[in-house]
């Protein structure tokens, strides 16, 4: 990101003749999707078209002051009525709008207030989810403190809810407060990213049916390689403590990633393996919850392209091969294996919501495996094309308890981005 008060170096043809303190932006994305057995329902196959338009204005009257506004128009055509879908339609609305004062490099601090994006933990913990037709934003106040290559942020935020009609607003009482940092001087050649988050939700219903407020603390860190070498690795560890209604919550999550890229070889092959463990609840209705509380993460493609399994009560193993056959081409193939962390808990989707309720006497843990293949091509700096297909092959958990579900679920997409 360019320094405050400075326009981006490449402003594009849209800003020809526009004053240097103002940068206008237009971004359009169109994607066609075909999904089979949506929600484990073999009768629910659907093909639909989604489009998203972003219009923005970035005003930087000085190096210490910035105003940014971005409108968003999201539409969908061909959706089957009654099929469960994430929010895909939202006529022109405010996606981002904030004011930023200060200069982190010169003054050591900056303050940003308004509607904006929030990313923590490589989007596995909190993310924007750009794949969605309506990417996530927050109404937030954020103070950034910087010294050299180290930055600490303290924030108070409420996630924006998509309104079927009218202006998108936040849900009262549903907040995330906290602090996170990106520290590069602690371990040279690494990024150390500690965080502490406090999530509040009003009047939730706990496992025993009591209604009360929820207060959950998430604390942990991400450690990642920050060099330009062939090896890459990441390690994330998070613990959770708090109250969900009148139940006590004690949970944890871990992510390990190891990869290697042959940068001097043709096609620059990259091999990676990643393992995720997110705890589940061992005994229901005992007033103690062991299931990891999923925050608003990116989810898509982190745990598979079909978005059937996510980071709650899950063990996920990913093996991937990524290639660059030419400077403008990318190819990738990924294979995911899914298990329940605890068989006595339920199956949850990528967004943390209940997907399949399981009986208390369940002993099966293998959910299934998924194969994804994707390709991308950059026509130029303004236009890119992409496509892919995925297939989830059901294991005993789905075969036994999803009545009538197909043994395989499919997903295909074609995308154009301007």
- Supply 54's token pair: 């972003």
> Measured at the alpha carbon of residue 115, what is the angle toward residues 112 and 118, in degrees to the nearest 5?
75
> Measured at the alpha carbon of residue 332, what is the angle toward residues 331 and 334, in degrees to the nearest 5?
165
Task: For the chain, 418 residues long, give each residue's pLDDT as a single digit of tens.
Answer: 334 444 455 677 888 889 999 999 999 999 999 887 766 766 677 888 999 999 999 999 998 999 999 999 999 998 776 555 667 888 899 999 999 999 988 899 999 999 999 999 888 899 998 988 999 999 999 999 999 999 999 999 999 998 878 899 998 999 999 999 999 999 989 999 999 999 999 999 998 999 999 999 999 999 999 988 999 999 999 999 999 999 999 999 999 999 999 999 999 999 999 999 999 999 988 999 999 998 887 767 788 988 888 889 999 999 999 999 999 999 999 999 999 999 999 999 888 888 899 998 999 999 999 999 999 999 998 899 999 999 999 999 998 988 766 767 777 888 999 8
- DSSP assignment string, 292-336: ----S---TTTS-SS----SSSEEEEEEEEEEEEETTEEEEEEEE
Q: What is the pTM of this model?
A: 0.91
- Supply 360's token pair: 């208390």
- Supply 320's token pair: 């991937």
The reported pLDDT for the residue numbered 8 is 56
β-bridge mates for residue 410, sequence order = 391
What is the C-alpha to C-alpha distance for residues 252 and 220, in angstroms, rounded to an integer? 9
What is the C-alpha to C-alpha distance for residues 382 and 324, in angstroms, rounded to an integer? 19
Phi, psi of 15 (to 5 degrees): -100, 15
All residues at 6 or more sequence positions from 114 whose CB lies less than 8 Å from its CB, including other chains: 96, 97, 98, 99, 139, 140
Cβ–Cβ under 8 Å, residues 320 and 271? yes
What is the C-alpha to C-alpha distance for residues 298 and 117, in angstroms, rounded to an integer? 12
Strands (E), 63-137: 65-77, 90-103, 109-116
How deeply is 414 buried, as exposed, middle or buried, from its count of CB atoms within 10 A (0-12, 13-18, 19+)?
A: middle
- DSSP assignment string, 126-180: B---TTSSS---EEEEEEEEEETTEEEEEEEEEEEEPPSSS--EEEEEEEEEEEE
């Amino acid at each position: 990101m360019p320094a405050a008060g400075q326009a981006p170096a490449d402003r594009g043809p849209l800003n020809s003749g526009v004053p240097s303190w103002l940068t206008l932006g237009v971004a359009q994305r169109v994607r066609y999707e075909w999904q089979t057995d949506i929600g484990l329902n073999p009768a629910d196959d659907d093909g639909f078209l989604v489009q998203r338009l972003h219009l923005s204005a970035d005003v930087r009257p000085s190096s210490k002051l910035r105003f940014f506004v971005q409108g968003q128009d999201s539409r969908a055509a061909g959706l089957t009525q009654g099929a469960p879908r994430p929010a895909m339609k939202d006529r022109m609305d405010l996606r981002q709008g904030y004011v930023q004062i200060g200069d982190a490099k010169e003054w050591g601090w900056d303050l940003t207030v308004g509607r904006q994006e929030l990313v923590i933990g490589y989007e596995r913990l909190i993310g924007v989810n750009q794949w969605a037709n309506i990417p996530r934003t927050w109404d937030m106040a954020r103070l950034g403190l910087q010294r050299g290559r180290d930055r600490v942020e303290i924030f108070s935020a409420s996630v924006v809810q998509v309104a079927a009609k009218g202006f998108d607003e936040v849900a009262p009482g549903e907040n995330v407060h906290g602090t996170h940092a990106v520290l590069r001087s602690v371990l040279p050649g690494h990024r150390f990213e500690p965080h502490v988050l406090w999530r509040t939700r009003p009047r939730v219903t706990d496992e025993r049916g009591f209604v009360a407020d929820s207060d959950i603390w998430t604390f942990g860190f991400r450690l990642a390689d920050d060099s330009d070498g062939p090896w890459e690795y990441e390690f994330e560890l998070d613990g959770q403590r708090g109250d969900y209604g009148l139940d006590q919550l004690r949970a944890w999550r871990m992510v390990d990633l190891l990869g290697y890229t042959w940068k001097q070889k043709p096609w620059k092959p990259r091999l990676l393996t990643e393992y995720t463990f997110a705890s589940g609840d061992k005994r229901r209705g005992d007033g103690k919850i062991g299931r990891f509380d999923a925050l608003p993460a990116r989810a898509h493609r982190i745990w598979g392209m079909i978005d059937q399994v996510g980071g709650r009560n899950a063990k996920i193993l990913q093996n991937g091969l990524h290639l660059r056959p030419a400077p403008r081409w990318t190819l990738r193939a990924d294979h995911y294996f899914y298990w329940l962390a605890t068989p006595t808990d339920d199956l949850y989707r990528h967004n943390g919501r209940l997907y399949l309720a399981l009986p208390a006497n369940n002993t099966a843990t293998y959910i299934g495996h998924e194969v994804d293949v994707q390709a991308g091509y950059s026509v130029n700096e303004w236009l890119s094309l992409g496509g892919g297909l995925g297939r989830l092959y059901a294991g005993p958990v789905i075969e036994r308890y999803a009545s009538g579900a197909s043994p395989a679920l499919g997903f295909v997409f074609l995308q154009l981005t301007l």
